[in-house]
Structure 1
Amino acid sequence: MEKKSFFTGRYADYSFQSFKKDLLSGLVVGVIAIPLGMAFAIASGVNPEYGIYTTLIAGILISVFGGSKFQIGGPTGAFIPILFSIVLTYGYESLLLAGFLAGILLFLMGIFKLGSLIKYIPRPVTIGFTSGIAVIIFVGQIANFLGLSGIEKHESFLLNVKEIALHIETVNFYSVLTAVICLIAILLTPKLVPKVPGPLIGLLVSTIAATVFFPAEVATIGSAFGEIPNTLPEFRFPEITLERIGLLIGPAFVIAMLGGIESLLSAVVADGMTNSKHNSNRELIGQGIANMVTPLFGGIPATGAIARTATNIKNGAVSPFSGMIHGVVVFLVLLLFAPYASAIPLASMAPVLMVVAWNMSERHVFINLLKTKTADSLVLVATFLLTVFVSLTVAVEVGLLFAVILFTKQMSELLVTAKALPDPNHKDEKVGTHMVTDIHDCPQISIYNVEGPLFFGSAQAFEQTIMKTIHYKPKVLLLRMGKVPFMDTTGEAYLSSIIKDFSKHGMVLISGMKPHPINVMKKTGLYDYTGEDHFFEHTGEAINFALEQLDKNKCLGCQHFAFKECRALSAGIEIDTAKSGKNEKILEQF
């Protein structure tokens, strides 16, 4: 049933009018994708045609097999730092294998239904590394923008900045002029002709200007990488050995995680724009298939592209056909116009990527998160700085670790363990912590309100709070745990320690416990050890039971009057806790 829904449901009520809308949106996105594909490939340290191959093959496969009707897949800016690092360290052939392995990982993530887990990655982490990547891309294009010569590419951000500073005197005026023309065209096109892709116009205008007015004065794609072929590369399976897998599985994992995060974020954006719902696990399967096939034809890793997906929707797309058409458009352009792309100046590619970096920087969200001055701000800054100055891999690992530690700390602070007694002035005699004082407490019954999650981060403080205050060894310890939504095995271990230690001289009663903590106690055997008769649904029942266990001799003359029955017990009057009406009449005498 689900299979039928996937292959037919996405094309329900499809008509010729629908096809016309998909055709238009596919054409527009296809034209936009070509310069971006080349730019991302060049920035990643590989030839521009590999970006075109990726846009073509991955774009079609992601639309066919993915879980979103509107997703446009291809190379994206987010991959640039990690791909460039792999090419610089291991070489282009190893990049193909890393992409292939990443595809397998994405496919398995989808098969094992891990798509929903990616949404648990904290927003400060994603914003932090996205902003960091934007800075790396922007700074990385300064050399091409200025036409600097003698630049050596490094993996380190600081070394690349140093290279720019050392070669700043080699600025090429013609490159700067070309880049400025392209940048102006990119910025003005959306205002003058909104339907026309700004990057395409920028490349066309600046390339024509450079070719006509100062030919041979600026470096071009052709002079740097050779002529772009107008055919697809031959099928070639990467060399796979255990040694190479061990070497590249780490980078492949980062590619898979980054691809999974960005593709699902893009799918969520598409859902919001179209009031639809994607299938996250199927999306990962589609991404996995695309990234397994694309390297076999020389392509680089791909994922869902948020900006192109949004453009696809804004131009009227109604089904995955638009994504397939976008791939076909790229293929036709490759066949007909690839040789002409060799004339595009590298200085023209720089503004394209700089604008992409500016748009993906999430600067407004970044600033707003900083202004909160919370733990999220710390996670954000740490992830951002590590992305820029160390590596994306370290940034994500440390960012997630920081987020987990800080979240654990915050959650542990939510657990409140405080002594309490019934409030006689409340109509239901609600148990409150404000009732406990030095002269108003019960020497034989200790009641504690326990509120919040009882887990590894808070369990020790929970135990210490109770054990430190019970120095006088009361006969009954009543734990009110109705507001404990969750308990892990560490929390259970500390609770077990309290129960077993206290049981040596008294008894522990528990009231209001939720199903989850009870299930944990049953699985560990603590429930049976405590005794089913020591668990109560309501605190009142537990207090009545506790009163029956009192040493009445110790009640004689007691002036604490912690419970309504205490005055009678202090005077030596026997109280039957099972007969509340009779008790009320007795208590009226005091």
Structure 2
Amino acid sequence: MKGAMKVVEKIKKEWFSNVRGDVLAGILVALALIPEAIAFSIIAGVDPMVGLYASFCIAVIISFVGGRPGMISAATGAMALLMVPLVKEHGLNYLLAATILTGVIQILFGVCKVAKVMKFIPRAVMIGFVNALAILIFMAQVPHFIGISNMTYIFVAITLLMIYVIPRFIKSIPSPLIAIILLTTVAIFSDMDLRTVGDLGAMKQSLPPFFIPDVPFNMETLAIIFPYSLALAIVGLLETLLTASIVDNMTDTDSNKNKESRGQGIANIITGFFGGMAGCAMIGQSVINVKSGGRGRLSTFVAGMGLMFLIIALGDIVIQIPMAVLVGDYGVHWNF
């Protein structure tokens, strides 16, 4: 009886102790996740829906099985960067198979309590890891604005300027989100010569379908995807534990790092079967969530569900976001 009461109290504390703050923060994060998921899909070389489906699935699943309430997990730039060679050489189905294997490896890491070992990684190494990925992600954006049009350069410059200046006057709404909304509106009504998200792939206004990756189930396939899956599992866990530590410090609470590792694994396995790429915790979005009042699992759940609602309801607008704006966004907004 006492055990059941403890479970009920834990659920109330993690899910319903801060309903208003969690819902509002989750909605804000959902809005900011759209351009990020699209941009990370572009980096990986896959259809935008792959990143959007991943962000939806991972956020919703991790809200139930993760070890750090209030932390946002979705498709990330760090993971997307590692996927580029695999997608280029073998295609999407091998990426989905690698995503599933990534989840299996992360569950094993959690069971073996590898999170304890991660604590010994020097802070300087972690900072170098994050900044190096930031530079590589920006370089991956270069082909999307070099040699396109003069208006593309102008939009990139304006985006960078807005992202730097807006926070001095408005702190309640992320500056990249404001830049994306305003400049997309200008682009839609001015008929400018700009490449848009819609030029990169079709936007499906539907829930992700379940399917098994179309790859041969043999040792040759395993030999292809295992190196990528191992790298994705390690990088994803590093970024997740770093983010968890940041959220721990911001909220003055503790988290279960091994449970989080297992949760990330479960989320990636399920995501791979629903057409999504591997993901992990996001430093920037988690900070935005906490600063906006998000504390519980409900904020992560609302972020994921809100993202899918926006895609289904506003997909026709999302495809009109100029690529130049996303490039400018990731020139300074390193939210892995």
TM-score by length of 2: 0.92
Give 5+ residue unaligned stretches, structure 2. none
Equivalence map 1:85-234=2 (5 Å): 85-146=85-146, 148-149=147-148, 172-215=149-192, 217-225=193-201, 227-234=202-209
1:483-524 deviation line (CA, Å, top 9, x unaligned): xxxxxxxxxxxxxxxxxxxxxxxxxxxxxxxxxxxxxxxxxx
2 CA distance for matches of 1:34 and 1:265? 23
Percentage of identical aligned residues: 29
Equivalence map 1:56-71=2 (5 Å): 56-71=56-71
- Aligned in 2, Cα 1:318/1:233: closer, same or farther, shift over 3 Å? closer
1 CA distance for matches of 2:118 and 2:40? 25
Instruction: Name the counterpart of 1:341.
Output: 318
Specify the SS of the correspondent of 2:333: helix
Shift of 1:350: 0.2
Question: In the alignment, is the contact (CA less than 8 A) between 2:14 and 2:297 conserved in 1?
Answer: no
1 CA distance for matches of 2:164 and 2:5? 45
Instruction: Name the counterpart of 1:236.
Output: 211
TM-score by length of 1: 0.54
Equivalence map 1:323-342=2 (5 Å): 323-342=300-319
Instruction: Name the counterpart of 2:259.
Output: 282
1:91-136 deviation line (CA, Å, top 9, x unaligned): 2211111111000010111122222122223334333332221111
1 CA distance for matches of 2:242 and 2:29? 19
Residue 307 in structure 1 maps to residue 284 in structure 2: yes
- Greater length-normalized contact order (CA 8 Å, ≥ 6 residues apart): 2
Give 5+ residue unaligned stretches, structure 1. 150-171, 361-590
- Aligned in 2, Cα 1:131/1:65: closer, same or farther, shift over 3 Å? same
Specify the SS of the correspondent of 1:297: coil
- Give the letter aligned to residue 51 of structure 1: G
- Aligned in 2, Cα 1:321/1:312: closer, same or farther, shift over 3 Å? same
Question: In the alignment, is the contact (CA less than 8 A) between 1:184 and 1:202 conserved in 2?
Answer: no
- Aligned in 2, Cα 1:175/1:315: closer, same or farther, shift over 3 Å? same
Shift of 1:209: 2.1
- When the two structures are aligned, how many residues end up with a matched partner? 333
- Give the letter aligned to residue 228 of structure 1: M
- Give the letter aligned to residue 79 of structure 1: M
- Aligned in 2, Cα 1:305/1:6: closer, same or farther, shift over 3 Å? farther
**Mean Cα displacement is larger for which, 192-201 or 24-33?**
192-201
Shift of 1:352: 1.4
CA RMSD of aligned residues (A): 2.2
2 CA distance for matches of 1:252 and 1:7? 37
2 CA distance for matches of 1:6 and 1:248? 39
- Aligned in 2, Cα 1:105/1:46: closer, same or farther, shift over 3 Å? same
- Give the letter aligned to residue 221 of structure 1: V
Residue 258 in structure 1 maps to residue 259 in structure 2: no
Shift of 1:255: 0.3
- Give the letter aligned to residue 218 of structure 2: T
Specify which structure has the higher proportion of helix.
2
Structure with higher Rg: it is 1
- Aligned in 2, Cα 1:30/1:350: closer, same or farther, shift over 3 Å? same
- Aligned in 2, Cα 1:194/1:252: closer, same or farther, shift over 3 Å? same
1 CA distance for matches of 2:4 and 2:154? 55
2 CA distance for matches of 1:252 and 1:233? 22
- Give the letter aligned to residue 136 of structure 2: I
1 CA distance for matches of 2:156 and 2:170? 21
- Aligned in 2, Cα 1:294/1:3: closer, same or farther, shift over 3 Å? farther
Question: In the alignment, is the contact (CA less than 8 A) between 2:40 and 2:76 conserved in 1?
Answer: yes
2 CA distance for matches of 1:13 and 1:339? 35
User: Post-superposition, which runs of at least 4 consecutive aligned residues in structure 1 deviate over 4 A?
Assistant: 1-8
